[in-house]
Amino acid sequence: MTRSGLILTTAFAGLIAGAAAAQPGAMAMLKGQDGQDVGHVTITQGPDGTLFHAELAGLEPGWHSFHVHEVGSCEENFDAAGDHYAPDGNGHGLMAEGGAHAGDLPNIHVAADGTAMAEFYSSRLTVADGSAPMMDEDGSAIVIHDNADTYESDAGAGGRVACGVITQTK
């Protein structure tokens, strides 16, 4: 390879790395109703949506709903987080006609020891830009519910057992 080819290749690699590093990211530190830490969710902006990576502990075993809620607050027993994030006006339910909210995400399964790891991609959400940015003027929160989501128009999710405010990391 010529010296000029090496310089161009190195410069191009630097531009690609810089562009990847410039993508916004976010994170949520989740707490249970008792105030104890239950884990974290890292959120990485992709080219057409966001990747969620959750590492959780201290939850009741079984299936639980996992949603992005419309307000970045976990006050008032997590009620301050508001409803599911739905800037597009869609109804609820990944499997429902007229659904889903941008904040409707797949259920998570908690193992017998109270731990869970989950990873999924949402093409409906973005960290900071687009039609469904989680970092809008009032922010957003991750909420885990008592029950599994039905994926239909009535979520059936039950009470809120964990909450974390989403904060932008870069």
For the chain, the average pLDDT equals 87
**How big is the CA angle at 77 (ends 55 and 113), to the nearest 5 degrees?**
30
Above 50 in pLDDT, residue 18? no
Do 154 and 82 meet the contact criterion of CB atoms below 8 Å apart?
no
Measured CA to CA, the distance from residue 102 to residue 105 in angstroms comes to 8
Q: How confident is residue 22, by pLDDT bands cut at 50, 70 and 90?
A: low
**How big is the CA angle at 17 (ends 170 and 47), to the nearest 5 degrees?**
65
Q: Is 151 left (phi over 0), alpha (psi -120 to 50) or beta?
A: left
Q: Which residue has the tokens 């009535």?
A: 154
DSSP H helical segments within the chain, as ranges? 3-22
Q: Which residues pair with 122 in a beta bridge?
A: 50
pLDDT in tens, 30-87: 999 999 999 999 999 999 899 999 999 999 999 999 999 999 999 999 999 999 999 9
Above 80 in pLDDT, residue 13? no
Measured CA to CA, the distance from residue 29 to residue 39 in angstroms comes to 6
In this prediction the pTM is 0.85
138: closest CA among 90, 69, 76, 78?
A: 69
Measured CA to CA, the distance from residue 101 to residue 88 in angstroms comes to 7
pLDDT in tens, 77-97: 999 999 999 998 888 888 788
